[in-house]
Amino acid sequence: MTDTVISSATREVVIGFERPFVAIGERINPTGRKRLAEEMKKGDLSRVERDALAQVEAGARVLDINAGIPLADEPGILARSIERVQSITDVPLCIDSSIVAALDAALSVYRGKPLLNSVTGEEERLESVLPLVKKYGCAVVAISNDDAGISQDLEVRFAVAKKIVERAEDHGIPRSDVLVDPLAMPIGALGQAGRHFLRLVARLRAELGVNTTCGASNISFGLPNRPPLNAAFVGMAIGAGLTSAIVNPLDPEMMTGIRAADVVMGADKECATWIATHRQASAGSPEPRRRRGTRRRRPAGA
Amino acid sequence: MTDTVISSATREVVIGFERPFVAIGERINPTGRKRLAEEMKKGDLSRVERDALAQVEAGARVLDINAGIPLADEPGILARSIERVQSITDVPLCIDSSIVAALDAALSVYRGKPLLNSVTGEEERLESVLPLVKKYGCAVVAISNDDAGISQDLEVRFAVAKKIVERAEDHGIPRSDVLVDPLAMPIGALGQAGRHFLRLVARLRAELGVNTTCGASNISFGLPNRPPLNAAFVGMAIGAGLTSAIVNPLDPEMMTGIRAADVVMGADKECATWIATHRQASAGSPEPRRRRGTRRRRPAGA
């Protein structure tokens, strides 16, 4: 019964066992999106706004915001993106950067209790990020790799997660504010990656009592026909105990799969969300029956 | 590492841990299919043939054959259907009847080692079906209800399964030939049915070391938009350890979901089946991209 509470100025989202799964929208990330990167760099946040609204409308309950653009002022762009997105939607945000100064800049403007993405088991990262988590009282994604890299040994991955959770407690951060990412690796390269992930999720929940998350689409990297693979993976991981994931909410297979998994887990009380979504779709709303890749509002492009 | 081996005269199918999931085609069943029932009753097995071929083409690795038609000669119809289907396809069959005389008639004409569907924990059923299983050396589906009905207590459902497995051993039937069906109940009526099913599957595998099966579509009974629910449920159950299920192979969401779950579990070696299916689809074959409800060969109808 571990609840991870995050919030905007006016809305709270709770990630927890036996609760509906929390989809964190991944779209606001310039990595691999050249046009978005160019626009963000020159201060045009119109696409960021559109992506935010489209993801919330598609069912994202938290939005990840990443401004990792080479040779750009990442702290400034990230902070401005956070402010802009908070001005048009009330969903809590996940502040995503590998640069500590950018995390700090974004935290200083954020209204509410965000999710910080991320700390790892690397010594330098632990000691630079955890003080920020404590200072701002936010929640944090803990990725289970350390100075030795990403281990293919499940025992090591579990031990790294445990180390981060314990170190966070040393810093006065409760484990309910640590969301462990046991790392979804590409199955195309590592055949047992999916099975291992499921085992780690179950173990993290049973033995550490922590909530979990992951970047779900990594699992299908390099394979064809990725959306049904990603959706099946997330559903299976929910069955094993996963409580949130960073996904593309504009992928209708993913969102339908998540809602279906909530029904199977008994987390969709009286199947109310499932039935309401079906009624909405039958009444002529394009969601969730629209074709893959199309978007409800305007083309989000690049 | 429990392998349940079933066969036709020329082909073997192995249901087992760490192996690709086995989809058992459910279509040849006159329950709720009025036209099929009428035709089977008057000896017209043309639709049975078409349904057999379409299901095999869609990926069924075993076919369930049921001839439960009120006021008809079920033993005769079942035996003739078995003979007819075995004459046109080499996949092993699952002989499905609640009438012991019909099971006996079908077993007497079957070539190979079939799956018998089913025995329950009811005393009379145990002592009439298990001797047949022993006599013909077949495998059997063991449904975990007994004379007291279907318990909502997981401990009782597990205990009934254990009793059947032990009684089978008393009759000289190895537990590798017993496929336990822990009963997928409708989530619309019993909100925890999905979660309970997943727990039972994991426990049956860990503690009894048996393979498992179920009638997957029960789970969504009474709910709208059933195909994605059924597919999510089967994927999650595969994650929990389910090794086979009776499904509709003509539902492309189900079959894509099963293939995806095999990838996630590392049971699709080198993702070869996933990649081949994608190539086939891209090359213009309608499978698996055809729309729900359409069939590749001819309309199988009612």
pLDDT at B170: 98
User: pLDDT tens across B16-59, in order?
Assistant: 999 999 999 999 999 999 999 999 999 999 999 999 999 999 99
Per-residue three-class SS string for B40-95: HHCCCCHHHHHHHHHHHHCCCCEEEEECCCCCCCHHHHHHHHHHHHHHHCCCCEEE
pLDDT at A285: 56
CB contact under 8 A, B225 and A192: no
Minimal Cβ distance to B232: which of A188, A223, A257: A257
pLDDT at A290: 44
Per-residue three-class SS string for B178-224: EEEECCCCCCCCCCCHHHHHHHHHHHHHHHHCCEECCEHHHHHCCCC
Q: Is the pLDDT of residue B297 over 50?
A: no
Give the C-alpha distances (Å, rounded to integers) separating B32 from B28, B29, B246, B249: 11, 8, 16, 17
What is the average pLDDT across A120-125? 97
Q: Is A20 touching B (CB cutoff 8 A)?
A: no
What is the average pLDDT across A277-296? 63
Show residues of chain B in contact with A188, CB under 8 Å: 271
User: pLDDT tens across B56-114, in order?
Assistant: 999 999 999 999 999 999 999 999 999 999 999 999 999 999 999 999 999 999 999 99
User: pLDDT tens across A135-181, in order?
Assistant: 999 999 999 999 999 999 999 999 999 999 999 999 999 999 999 99
CB contact under 8 A, B264 and A232: yes
Q: Is the pLDDT of residue A289 over 70?
A: no
pLDDT at A1: 77
Q: What's the mean per-residue pLDDT of chain B? A: 94
What are the DSSP calls for A190-217, one per residue? STTHHHHHHHHHHHIIIII--EE--BGG
Q: Is B217 touching A (CB cutoff 8 A)?
A: no
CA distance B55 to B92: 13
**Both structure tokens of B109:** 């004409």
DSSP state of A98: S
All residues at 6 or more sequence positions from A88 whose CB lies less than 8 Å from its CB, including other chains: A49, A52, A53
CB contact under 8 A, A274 and B235: no
User: pLDDT tens across A59-87, in order?
Assistant: 999 999 999 999 999 999 999 999 999 99
All residues at 6 or more sequence positions from B293 whose CB lies less than 8 Å from its CB, including other chains: none
Q: Is the pLDDT of residue B300 over 50?
A: no
% chain B with pLDDT above 90: 92
* B243 CA: distance to closest CA in chain A (Å): 14
Show residues of chain A in contact with B240, CB under 8 Å: 239-240
Closest CA to B130 of B94, B172, B76, B160: B172
User: pLDDT tens across A9-53, in order?
Assistant: 999 999 999 999 999 999 999 999 999 999 999 999 999 999 999
Q: Is A224 touching B (CB cutoff 8 A)?
A: yes
User: pLDDT tens across B145-180, in order?
Assistant: 999 999 999 999 999 999 999 999 999 999 999 999
Of residues A175 and B294, which shows the higher confidence score? Answer: A175
% chain A with pLDDT above 90: 92
Chain-centroid distance of CA A147 in Å reads 23
pLDDT at A36: 97
Q: Is the pLDDT of residue A292 over 50?
A: no
pLDDT at B1: 77
DSSP state of A291: P
Q: Is the pLDDT of residue A297 over 50?
A: no
* A63 CA: distance to closest CA in chain B (Å): 25
3-state secondary structure of B117: strand
